[in-house]
Chain A
Amino acid sequence: MIKPQQQIRFDHQIILEWVRAHAKVLDLGCGDGTLLGLLIRKKDCHGTGIEINEHAVYQCIEAGLTVSHVDIDTGLIDYSNKRFDYVILNESLQEVLHPRQVILEALRVGRKVIVGIPNFCHIRARLQIFFQGRVPVTPELPYQWYDTPNLRFLSLQDFRHFCSNNDIRILKEVGVAGNKIVQLQPNLFAHTGLYLLEK
Chain B
Amino acid sequence: MHIVETQSYTFAEPPHELKLKSGEKLGPITLAYETYGALNCDKSNAILLFHSLTGDAHAAFYHKGADKPGWWDSMIGPGKGFDTDKYFVICSNVIGGCKGSTGPASINPKTGLPFGLSFPFVTIEDMVAAQKHLIDHLEIKRLLCVSGGSMGGLQALTWATQYPDYVQSVIAIATNTRHTAQQIALHEVARQAIMSDPDWQDGDYYGKSIPARGLALARMIGHITYMSDKSMDEKFGRKLIAKERLGYDFSHDFEVENYLKYRSGNFVQRFDANSYLYISKALDYFDMSAEKKLTDIFSRAKAHFLVISFTSDWLYPSYQSKEMVRALKANDLDVSDIEINSSYGHDAFLVEVEGQQKLITHFLSRIQKGAAHVSRGR
Contacts and interface: CB of A to CB of B under 8 A. Distances in A.
Contacts of B358: 58, 61-62
Interface string B331-368: 01011111111000000000000010011001101100
Instruction: Report whether over half of chain B's contact residues are helix, strand or loop; otherwise say mixed.
Output: mixed
B334 A66 contact: yes
B334 A79 contact: no
A78 B355 contact: no
B336 A66 contact: yes
B329 A46 contact: no
A64 B377 contact: no
B374 A68 contact: no
A67 interface: yes
Contacts of B201: none
B330 interface: yes
Interface residues of B, number: 30
B332 A68 contact: no
B374 A47 contact: yes
B132 interface: no
B235 interface: no
A42 to B, nearest CB: 13
Chain A interface size range: 20 to 34
B360 to A, nearest CB: 9
Given A61-B358, A66-B335, A68-B335, A78 B373 contact: no
Given A61-B358, A61-B362, A78-B330, A24 B374 contact: yes
A79 to B, nearest CB: 6
B1 to A, nearest CB: 30
B377 A24 contact: yes
A122 to B, nearest CB: 36
A83 interface: yes
B374 A67 contact: no
Contacts of A1: 362
Nearest to A75: B329
B374 A61 contact: no
Interface of A: 1, 24, 40, 45-48, 54, 57-58, 60-70, 77-80, 83
Given A61-B306, A83-B377, 17 more contacts: A45-B373, A46-B375, A54-B339, A57-B338, A61-B358, A64-B362, A66-B334, A66-B372, A66-B373, A68-B325, A68-B329, A69-B337, A69-B338, A70-B322, A77-B326, A78-B329, A80-B377
